[in-house]
């Protein structure tokens, strides 16, 4: 259960993100049952639908679904690869389809909006993020609010 670190999009230098800047796809997964058990133990989310393949099948699923918060956490990892100069301050997502045990996903995104800072408030960068399942269907849509990291 790792995020592939084979693409870095931005030649960062001293340039802040620009509206429309796109982030190259990053792969995550696949998660195996040990990954889901480890996440369940760490998070306290031990819902058996995530951990018991036979229960998931009886519920009409092809396999246990990966925990939603575990999937969401991968957006921050992808952001660190794309733009290590940004800090995530808010993340909201909508789950459209489950990601199942054993599936690999792809994460991509772009800069959608820039809100200039005023006074002590920093400039904010709104990112639109997508997570695709193996069938190239959007499984999660997310919006991330970020700011430039403080140097020093």
How distant, in Å, are the alpha carbons of 68, 99, 137 from that of 63? 15, 9, 17
Task: Report pLDDT digits (tens) over 117-150.
Answer: 998 899 999 999 999 999 999 999 999 999 999 8
- Burial class of residue 151 (count of CB atoms within 10 Å of its CB; 0-12, 13-18, 19+): exposed
| CA atoms in the 13 A half-sphere facing the CB of 86 | 29
Average pLDDT over residues 15-32: 93
Q: Rounded to two decimals, what is the model's pTM?
A: 0.85
Mean pLDDT, the chain, integer: 90
SS3 72: helix
> Shortest CA distance to 88 belongs to which of 67, 68, 109, 119?
109
Mean pLDDT for the stretch of residues 96-107: 96
Per-residue pLDDT tens over the stretch 64-90 = 999 999 999 999 999 999 999 999 999
Mean pLDDT over residues 103-110, rounded? 96
């Amino acid at each position: 259960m790792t995020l592939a670190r084979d693409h870095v999009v931005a030649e960062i230098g001293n340039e802040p993100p620009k509206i429309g800047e796109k982030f190259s796809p990053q792969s995550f997964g696949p998660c195996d049952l040990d990954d889901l058990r480890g996440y369940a133990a760490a998070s306290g989310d031990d819902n058996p639908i995530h951990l018991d393949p036979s229960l998931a099948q009886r519920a009409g699923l092809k396999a246990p679904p990966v925990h939603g918060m575990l999937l969401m956490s991968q957006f921050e990892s992808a952001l660190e690869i794309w733009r290590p100069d940004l800090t995530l301050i808010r993340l909201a997502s909508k789950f459209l389809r489950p990601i199942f045990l054993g599936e690999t996903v792809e994460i991509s995104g772009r800069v959608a909006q820039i809100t200039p800072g005023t006074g002590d408030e920093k400039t904010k960068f709104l990112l639109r993020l997508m997570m695709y399942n193996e069938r190239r269907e959007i499984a999660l849509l997310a919006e991330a609010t970020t700011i430039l990291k403080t140097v020093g």
